Amino acid sequence: MSEQRTIVILNTASGSQGGEEKIAAIRDAFNARGKAVDFVNVQDHDSVEAAAKAALTHTDARIAVAGGDGTICGTASVLAGSGREIGIIPAGTFNYFGRSLGLPEEIDAAVEVVLSGVPRDVNVATVNGRMFLNNASIGAYAAILQTREGTYKRWGRSRLAAYWSVMKTLVTFRAPLKLDVDIDGKKLTRRTPLLFVINNAYQLEEMGLDGAEAIAEGNLVTLIAPNSGRLGLLRHAAALALGIAKAETDYEMISGKKIEISMKRKRRPVARDGEITRMGGPFTIRHAHHPLRILVAPDASKAVR
């Protein structure tokens, strides 16, 4: 490897580990290998994108990102199509993106991959041109994320806190959405509290769901929850969380390359990889034109992510 320095875009708020603690651990891992590292600390999506744009101007530097999937997505949205490789140090709560690529969640091992890894092209997707790595959704999940932030502030970031936020939100969630959905020309109308589009076979498998083959074929997988009232929604959510959900009972699954969604209310919160953006409809979801170039271990599995 060249002796180039690495710029690490670091979200100090991601995951359960403190910001200074993460910085020290990452710096120690680089120093132990005799490599130089600089940090750019960020906490929100807009500053992540600004940091990534600034990092791109340093043509002699390696770029890495340490944070959760939302932070990685913000960085990737700037670097996609640039030809630059991205190193990943998973440091969020769930780390679906890194785990789907077989990247280690331990900081020292992740830094080793940043320094000695090989590039792999990874397909990502967009909703109205805004990138997501794993999933995008309309409906109840955006409300869940808003509840989750309050829960995190009170109890700290953890997977248990995230699951509690799901239950707390669904107990009070009311109005279902009336959606007109077009998936590769197949038109349907649904009343649903939640529409979820997934671009990650690993996440489907973690949830105990089918659909990995559709991802392998280059499709996006759309899950539509049934309109079964508050108690029904809780039951379906619990089934998904426990990995025992049943097709056509707890969700409707349809796959395709282009999903178009319209509804009466034009602007809605859209969740992308755990981050909320208020966007105007109709909503078009498809694969991005350019893949990401992610550094993975030389012996990493070629399995569909």
Domain enclosing residue 22, as ranges: 6-124+290-296
- Tell whether 119 and 186 lie within a shared domain: no
Is 50 exceeded by the pLDDT of residue 188? yes
**Could you tell me which residues come within 8 angstroms of residue 118 by beta carbon, excluding any fewer than 6 positions away?**
295, 296, 297, 298
- Tell whether 134 and 101 lie within a shared domain: no
Residue 163 banded pLDDT, cuts 50, 70, 90? low
Specify the range with the lowest mean pLDDT, choosing from 127-136, 149-158, 159-168, 240-249. Answer: 240-249
- Residue 182 domain-assigned (yes or no): yes
Q: Single out the residue of 91, 65, 100 nearest to residue 80, CA to CA.
A: 65
- Tell whether 82 and 143 lie within a shared domain: no
Contact 63, 47 (CB under 8 A): no
Reading across the β-sheet that carries 292-296, which strands appear in turn? 37-42, 6-11, 62-67, 86-90, 292-296, 118-122
Specify the range with the lowest mean pLDDT, choosing from 27-41, 50-64, 137-151, 290-304. Answer: 137-151
- Tell whether 79 and 157 lie within a shared domain: no
- Tell whether 153 and 201 lie within a shared domain: yes
Q: Which amino acid is at 121?
A: D
pLDDT of 187: 97
- Tell whether 229 and 272 lie within a shared domain: yes
Domains contained in the chain, number: 2
pTM of the model: 0.84
- Residue 303 domain-assigned (yes or no): no
pLDDT of 63: 97
Task: State the CATH number of the domain containing residue 259.
Answer: 2.60.200.40
pLDDT of 244: 55
In angstroms, the Cα distances linking 21 to 6, 16, 223 are 19, 10, 38
- Residue 239 domain-assigned (yes or no): yes
- Tell whether 152 and 264 lie within a shared domain: yes
Task: State the CATH number of the domain containing residue 112.
Answer: 3.40.50.10330
